[in-house]
Structure 1
Amino acid sequence: MEDSERRSYLPGEWDDPERMQVLMGPLPHRELNHVAHTARVTFWSAAIHNWCRAALRPFFTLAECQGAFRRGSQIPVCLPEVLQLMMRQDEIVPMNQLNFTDHKQETWVGWGRRVLVVQPAHMLWGNVKYLMGLNTLGNTVLVCQAVLQEMCGRIVEAVWDKRSSDTLLITLKDLHSLVRDAVGTLENLELAVKTLVAQGRAATVLHHGTLYVKFASPGDEARPEVLPEELAKSDLREARERVERSLKALEEEREALRCQAKIALSRGAKTEALSLLRRKKRVDKSVVTQLGVLENLASWQYHLDDVETNRQVLGALKGGVEALRTALAGDASPDAAATTLDDLQQVLEECEDLNALVSSNPVAEDLIGLEDELEGLLFAAGEETRMTGEAELEPRLPDVPTEPPLPTSTVPVPRLSL
């Protein structure tokens, strides 16, 4: 591999000879220089992850890793120890230790063996080899967990983006053509598919010698299941595509034979023109046959589509019935509704009684007697006022004298003479 091809993943320090001379040397002892040891491990761990991402290599060997970071005739001396430390931190895992068993289908015995026996044993043996300074990686295939998970995520996103939710079943060959830029080789894709199956995000089935992969729908956490009608639809779709390609080839051959017959006839080669026309006639019969086959395939595909639609409708109706039954159970049952209405009527009556009590005047009964007495007083006062008025309206006569009148005078009154 040329240095120019590695520039996409090499660290920035690669162009500094003095710095790289130190980094490519032995790994400092942890107890003697903890800071330098941690910095060296961090540098090479990040470099290995970048190399795996850029080169689309979810798995590799020690020799391949050393070749990727070869600097002239010098290779990193500390890479074996760094890879051992990455294995202890579970950043990389040997291929033979990957667990492709679905955790939901794993038995308690298998889980106990994996968690309590296998994993501790591998960890203990790795620590022992690290303490003894043994490099037993050899040709062990190492898997970079982070890069593998990123690759699985890109595969699922590509399938969701480029295929509808009704066609999430795809052959492994077509899947590789779809996500070639994200996974690289077919071996990488096979490893990613196994990981997705173990995680419950995909399912595989071998049908007529072809491996099919079905992905879970977006937001669906249930494990996908490959249905027989989906395989039948896939077979019909492939057969229809083959027939269409065959028809296209026959049409081109028929047109070519027709042109060749015209050319032969223009040259006066009547026998050759008749031979070409006989071949064209056989091609015409094949075209008619292929058109009939194509019509039958389309009819069967329509029938399968109708069956799937009916199945979905029946499933929706069944779900609706169960939802209604659940909704009507318990507090929503007819008996519960009648009891609730009775309780409501009783509560309304109590509310009406309460409103009547609250709106009534608590001193109304005491005011009844007082109002009668007040009316009597007002009537008496009115009578006195009326009687006083009538008395003022009557004329007053002079008092009758009680003494005798005065005697009449005897003095004569002078008379006036005219």
Structure 2
Amino acid sequence: MGSIDKKSSLLQEILPVDWHNDERMGFLMSAFKDRSVNPKSWDAKLKFWRVLIEEYCVHCKQVTFDEAHLKKTFERDGCVPACLTPVIISLKNDGKVVPVEEIQKLGYHGQSWSSWTTEKLLKTPASFAVNKLWSALGYDSSASQSTTEKLVSIPALQSYAEEVLAQHCPDHSAHNASSQVMILADVILKEPNKQFAELAIMWLCRNNQAIVEDTMSPALVKFGPNVQISNVDRQTISLQRQEIALTRKLHELEEEKERCLAEIKAYLAKGMRPAARNSLKKKHELERRATKLSDSLANLHVMISQLKDSESHAQVIGAYKNASAALKAVYKDTGLNEDNVANAMDDVEEALELHDEVKTVISKPVGPMSSTLDDEELEKELAELLEDHEEAGPPGGGTSEFDINKLPSVPSSPVGAKTLNTQASQL
């Protein structure tokens, strides 16, 4: 199906269905004709290539390209597309692609991307309108505009920049999230494509997702929303560079000490004891220097750790201050203070007292009985009834006292029901 089939699987994933239709692709690969002949077909062809180019750049992380690169990429059965110039011009008119030098000219400290785009549209509206007019009429505008320049796909650059940001600052969506300060050159060198990485960092800087400080050497970079490079960051980088230099020097001393040891053994083997003694002195001197370097390196580690702790402590204090301010704002907005709370509690107590009074009133008896009888009369009558009951004694003329001595003794043999009844009647 052509040379594009030999490319990576990433390209295969974005190829549309029409790519496998020879007749359809014959039309899509040909140059643009007059739009007035078939406007619908002309627009569909333009849309096909615009969508395919954008998807290719984003999906394959191809941040920059030129027309020659696209022709080679989309070569099919030995045939390259002859219609890419108007497509590229159309993408430029819509701000989907921009020249590489336009982004590099703004650098890391240029205006934001949105304001830059707006300014470009306001400064050069005539050329944009002319390009659109030429395309609408179906004329080939390649005669007046060259597409050999290197271009940047804005959607691809944005996607790549987001990956770089997520790599160095995974929690970049969180409040006050930031990465550690790093040396810009080290970050760029670790990326597979140095130019793409540089453009991505420029994009992040102009969208307030990173900051670069290149006023002194080495240039520093820090990732995160609205971050700043503090003096602690600069001192940390300075100490880390000294740490790297001391580690390298310590490694060199260890290698030199090993060479001295080898020399000592060689001199002894040859019977050259004075030379061996001199090499041994040199070895002891190297060991002394290495010990001092190790101590200095340990001190650097402590200082770097303390600097990092101080920054984290500052962040904690900042969080405390923000929380305190938020709490005060809540009290201010809601009018909460000691007097208001005390007044509210008094109101609650009054409401509860009112509730108890209402319950008492509701529980009073109602009707004729409530007006003729009161509690004292009822208590007096109950006392008289109790006194009469005690004077009369228990029913049947018996005594009210219980004598346990009059109970029968416990039988030693089984007792029948008749005997039990007889004993019961005698009680």
Classify 1:370/1:246 alpha carbon distance in 2 versus 1 (closer, same or farther; 3 Å): closer
User: Match for 1:311 among 285, 290, 314?
Assistant: 314
Residues in 1 aligned to 2:147 and 2:179: alpha-carbon distance in whole angstroms = 44
Classify 1:79/1:305 alpha carbon distance in 2 versus 1 (closer, same or farther; 3 Å): closer
Asked if structure 2 preserves the Cα contact closer than 8 Å seen for 1:152 and 1:193, the reply is yes
Classify 1:333/1:281 alpha carbon distance in 2 versus 1 (closer, same or farther; 3 Å): same
Aligned to 2:167, the other structure's residue is in SS state helix
Report what 1:62 is aligned to. Answer: 67
User: Match for 1:37 among 42, 48, 56?
Assistant: 42
Residues in 2 aligned to 1:323 and 1:352: alpha-carbon distance in whole angstroms = 40
More off after superposition, 140-149 vs 355-364: 355-364
Residues in 1 aligned to 2:356 and 2:165: alpha-carbon distance in whole angstroms = 65
| 1:101 maps onto 2:116 in alignment | no
Residues in 1 aligned to 2:72 and 2:210: alpha-carbon distance in whole angstroms = 35
Unaligned runs of 5+ in 2: 379-427
Asked if structure 2 preserves the Cα contact closer than 8 Å seen for 1:62 and 1:137, the reply is no
**C-alpha displacement at 1:148, in angstroms?**
0.9
Residues in 2 aligned to 1:185 and 1:7: alpha-carbon distance in whole angstroms = 17
| 1:144 maps onto 2:153 in alignment | yes
Q: How many residues align?
A: 355
| 1:169 maps onto 2:181 in alignment | yes
Residues in 2 aligned to 1:266 and 1:26: alpha-carbon distance in whole angstroms = 84
Residues in 1 aligned to 2:185 and 2:291: alpha-carbon distance in whole angstroms = 32
Report what 1:238 is aligned to. Answer: 241
Residues in 2 aligned to 1:154 and 1:97: alpha-carbon distance in whole angstroms = 22
More off after superposition, 130-139 vs 145-154: 130-139
Q: RMSD value over aligned CA atoms? A: 3.6
Asked if structure 1 preserves the Cα contact closer than 8 Å seen for 2:4 and 2:75, the reply is no
Report what 1:406 is aligned to. Answer: none
Classify 1:254/1:208 alpha carbon distance in 2 versus 1 (closer, same or farther; 3 Å): farther
Asked if structure 1 preserves the Cα contact closer than 8 Å seen for 2:222 and 2:228, the reply is yes
More off after superposition, 202-211 vs 6-15: 6-15
Residues in 1 aligned to 2:212 and 2:56: alpha-carbon distance in whole angstroms = 30
| 1:186 maps onto 2:191 in alignment | no
Classify 1:53/1:256 alpha carbon distance in 2 versus 1 (closer, same or farther; 3 Å): farther
Letter paired with 1:254 = K
More off after superposition, 308-317 vs 337-346: 308-317
Residues in 2 aligned to 1:145 and 1:200: alpha-carbon distance in whole angstroms = 17
User: Match for 2:209 among 193, 198, 201?
Assistant: 201
Residues in 2 aligned to 1:266 and 1:155: alpha-carbon distance in whole angstroms = 59
Report what 2:336 is aligned to. Answer: 332
TM-score (normalizing by structure 1): 0.71
Report what 2:7 is aligned to. Answer: 6
Higher relative contact order, structure no. (Cα contacts within 8 Å, ≥ 6 residues apart): 2
Residues in 2 aligned to 1:193 and 1:82: alpha-carbon distance in whole angstroms = 28
Report what 1:411 is aligned to. Answer: none
Asked if structure 1 preserves the Cα contact closer than 8 Å seen for 2:113 and 2:203, the reply is no
Unaligned runs of 5+ in 1: 217-221, 376-418
Matches within 5 A, 1:219-368: 222-329=225-332, 330-363=334-367, 368=371
More off after superposition, 247-256 vs 17-26: 17-26
**C-alpha displacement at 1:357, in angstroms?**
3.7
Report what 2:415 is aligned to. Answer: none
Letter paired with 2:148 = N
Could you say which structure has the larger radius of gyration? 1
Classify 1:268/1:134 alpha carbon distance in 2 versus 1 (closer, same or farther; 3 Å): same
Letter paired with 2:152 = V
Aligned to 2:152, the other structure's residue is in SS state strand
Aligned to 1:210, the other structure's residue is in SS state coil
**C-alpha displacement at 1:173, in angstroms?**
2.5
Asked if structure 2 preserves the Cα contact closer than 8 Å seen for 1:102 and 1:198, the reply is yes
Report what 1:23 is aligned to. Answer: 28
Residues in 1 aligned to 2:210 and 2:195: alpha-carbon distance in whole angstroms = 17
More off after superposition, 2-11 vs 146-155: 2-11
Asked if structure 2 preserves the Cα contact closer than 8 Å seen for 1:26 and 1:78, the reply is yes
**C-alpha displacement at 1:266, in angstroms?**
0.9
Residues in 2 aligned to 1:97 and 1:60: alpha-carbon distance in whole angstroms = 14
Question: What does the per-residue CA deviation read over 1:153-175, in whole Å, with 9 as the maximum and x for residues that have no partner?
Answer: 11112223599x77532222222
